[in-house]
Amino acid sequence: MAVELREGERLDDLHRNGYRIIQNEKRFCFGMDAVLLTGFAQVREGECVLDLGTGTGVIPILLAAKTPGRHFTGLELSAASADMARRSVALNGLEQRVEIVQGDIRKAGELFAPASFDTVTSNPPYMVGTHGLLNADPEKAAARHEIWCTLEDVVRAAARLLRPGGRFFMVHRPFRLAEIIRALSQYGLEPKRMRLVYPYADREPNMVLIESVRGGRPRMTVERPLIVYEKPGIYTAEVRSLYED
């Protein structure tokens, strides 16, 4: 299906099912963390999935390509990003499986019925106000810093919208891991599975993938490390498999 590209926009190949995505390099473009999250998340046949802070919709579109889930919803506050996401959904002919809703994560409980999703995913802003340089562009700043929502806002929304036994998958930064686990436990989401992501085998981890279950029993599995690069510019075989059919 042909779609209109607005000024500054481009089409990027997602290397899955021939799907493409509309992005604007002057705004925030998706990164490796979103792709790794779609490889870590486990969506079962017939499930309904919500992605909190979906940006241009890369996570629901990739999950629709990679998993047998029935329906995927992306929630995004930015009108411009939500518009790009909707046009990408149409471009890929996914209107029956993927829906983009413009709205605030902090008001997600008013937009969706409680316990209405089997799975929730999120690639939220990593930084609080004192961490790193704040981008001058408001949308780029909000993608990296907790301006429009906090970690607690995201966890609270996930807990409210998941059915009992539903799963929450998130990618974040290891330096906030203690805070992440406290927030999950506070809202009844039991951490069950974790994987640390290392840029190289001899470096410190720079991402953490974590799965929690609403009302789950205490017991967490720490999976083997995920190494991104064999050497500069060369992905490991596992990472290549996440980017390619």
Q: What is the pLDDT of residues 34-76, one digit of tens each?
A: 999 999 999 999 999 999 999 999 999 999 999 999 999 999 9
DSSP annotation of 128:
-
Pairwise CA distance, residues 38 & 179, whole Å: 23
Q: Is residue 3 part of a domain?
A: no
Q: Is residue 1 part of a domain?
A: no
Distance, C-alpha 165 to centroid of its chain? 20
Q: What is the pLDDT of residues 170-207, one digit of tens each?
A: 999 999 999 999 999 999 999 999 999 999 999 999 99
Q: Is residue 2 part of a domain?
A: no
pTM higher than 0.85? yes
Q: Is residue 191 part of a domain?
A: yes
Range of the domain at 229: 9-243
pLDDT for the residue numbered 1: 65
Q: Is residue 114 part of a domain?
A: yes
pLDDT > 70 fraction of the chain, expressed in percent and rounded: 91
Q: Is residue 64 part of a domain?
A: yes
Q: For the chain, what is the domain count?
A: 1
* CATH code of the domain containing 52: 3.40.50.150
pLDDT for the residue numbered 141: 45
Pairwise CA distance, residues 232 & 228, whole Å: 10
Pairwise CA distance, residues 189 & 207, whole Å: 20
Q: Is residue 4 part of a domain?
A: no
